[in-house]
């Protein structure tokens, strides 16, 4: 029994984390489709698992993720992640913040290896590249925890 990943969209470069295309795994027993948004979520979670990663996204990406998070009631899971899914392969672009004083090149390499490992083991797609853009350094203790706003008292 063999599984062959195949894309439902055969045009080159047709997918991204915002797209609607899927990778399709054909077997003699049926077809499994994996949306590119699923690949993006796997990449996001895998990157966050690595010590030294403070956050994903940066600048505009964080602002958009924050707005989407407020609408959905949760943080946008794929902020800072872009994917392109082909017939049997996937490519990933990540934007992340590294926690000071971690070694940026070691964190980037650990993220790259973890993302490749997770996507390949969970989807069967070959990851051809993981491009990482370190957009910022985060300093421990510099982030102020977000305090939920207290509604005004209705009674005195």
Please give the model's pTM, rounded to 2 decimal places. Answer: 0.70
- At 7 the pLDDT is 42
Question: Residue 7: which of 30, 28, 37, 32 has the closest Cα?
Answer: 32
Does 124 or 150 have the greater pLDDT score? 124
- Residue range 31-54: mean pLDDT, rounded: 93
Q: Which residue has the higher pLDDT, 134 or 58?
A: 134
Rounded Cα distance, 34 and 137, in Å? 33
pLDDT tier, 132 (very low <50, low <70, confident <90, very high otherwise)? very high
Residue 23: how many other CB atoms lie within 10 Å: 26
Rounded Cα distance, 116 and 133, in Å? 16
The whole-angstrom distance between residue 48's C-alpha and the CA centroid of its chain comes to: 9
Better-scored residue on pLDDT, 101 or 62: 101
How many C-beta neighbours within 10 Å does residue 152 have? 5
């Amino acid at each position: 029994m063999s599984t062959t990943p195949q894309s439902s969209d055969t045009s080159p470069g047709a997918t991204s984390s915002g797209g609607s295309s899927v990778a399709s795994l054909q077997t003699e027993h049926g077809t499994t489709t994996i949306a590119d948004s699923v690949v993006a979520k796997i990449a996001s979670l895998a990157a966050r698992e690595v010590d030294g990663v403070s956050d994903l996204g940066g600048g505009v990406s964080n602002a958009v993720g924050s707005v989407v998070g407020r609408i959905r009631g949760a943080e946008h899971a794929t902020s800072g992640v872009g994917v392109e899914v082909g017939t049997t392969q996937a490519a990933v672009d990540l934007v992340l913040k590294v926690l000071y004083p971690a070694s940026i090149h070691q964190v980037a390499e650990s993220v790259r290896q973890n993302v490749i490992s997770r996507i390949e083991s969970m989807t069967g797609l070959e990851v051809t590249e993981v491009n990482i853009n370190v957009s910022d350094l985060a300093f421990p203790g510099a982030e102020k925890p977000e305090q939920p706003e207290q509604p005004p008292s209705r009674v005195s």
